[in-house]
Structure 1
């Protein structure tokens, strides 16, 4: 068996677990849904669930988008303004997300915003995302201190992105997400200029 086949199988299993969990959370409620119910609905064992998601919260919080954003930021021209690099990377990523994935993102956002246990984990996730943005913008992989300017720009970009995503979720997906992202970053451009 090839490594590519194994990776595709892992991705399918991960997606099946997440989709089953989201369906159950919407039908029964987050708190009322157990990991055992999610595993059964996804057709996997309880232990398989934990190989993919360390906690029930992770099935909603964790996604594959941050590493993609980091890669897209690093691929932008180094002389491009930092906030523009992040905006272009996010815009590129949104173009790659299909309608079905967008619905999953919207469902996850709704759950995160409405479920106290998930809101508590949201800050931890945002902190990791900010550190990722800092690394991508500074071009550094080591734990050396990132300059304050870069940290502030990464934080402002994250705030703009989170605000756009929250606004989109509050509109129940009716607003155009790429337009909201562009508008949020336009506000930043105006402040940075």
Structure 2
């Protein structure tokens, strides 16, 4: 096996181990949050449940809030979006990227994501932190859209389009919090599909104009 291939394999193993550790930390934290509450749970308790030191915990998450808010989905989404064929419209490419990203998640990761979203909405300090984080997400979406279209990431239309996508994602989070039976990935796809149609909206008993 060539040396560079060996290097890639070792990096892959390290990344898988890191991902597994992060997932374990989140799973144990979520269990403790369910049992005793978010505010009552300490980083020391989470670290003890995972049989690591608090200092090791901080190698994976800088704060307790980050443990709930942070995941690896954004980089995956960017990579999948950049892989989409050029003939797709921006919303079609984003929708395909979202599908691919969710398809790569394990059942444990999907369950953890849904539970973390519930915490983001229900815990005031997490809700405030997540709103601040969404500014970064908006800029990320605008940047990948601008790159695809050959436009500036500060372009007003590009920013507005990115905002519509982010708004749809926020709506999905609230909807799934209020409807626990809803499948998060499927609901994201339905929301993006609605954006793709141009968002026709009419009153009850009326037909949307085409």
Q: 1:43 to 1:132 in 2, by over 3 A?
A: same
- Deviation beyond 6 Å, 4+ runs, structure 1: none
Q: Report if the CA contact (8 A) 1:130-1:154 is conserved.
A: yes
In the TM superposition, what is the alpha-carbon distance from 1:75 to its structure 2 partner?
1.1
In the TM superposition, what is the alpha-carbon distance from 1:136 to its structure 2 partner?
1.3
**Aligned counterparts, 1:1-193, within 5 A:** 2-139=10-147, 145-172=153-180, 174-191=181-198
Aligned residue pairs total 189
Deviations 1:14-33 (A, max 9, x none): 22211111111111100000
Unaligned runs of 5+ in 1: none
Alignment RMSD: 2.0
Normalised by the length of structure 2, the TM-score is: 0.82
Normalised by the length of structure 1, the TM-score is: 0.89
Q: 1:6 to 1:185 in 2, by over 3 A?
A: closer
Q: 1:169 to 1:98 in 2, by over 3 A?
A: farther
Deviations 1:96-147 (A, max 9, x none): 223222110111011111101100111122111111111211228xxx6531
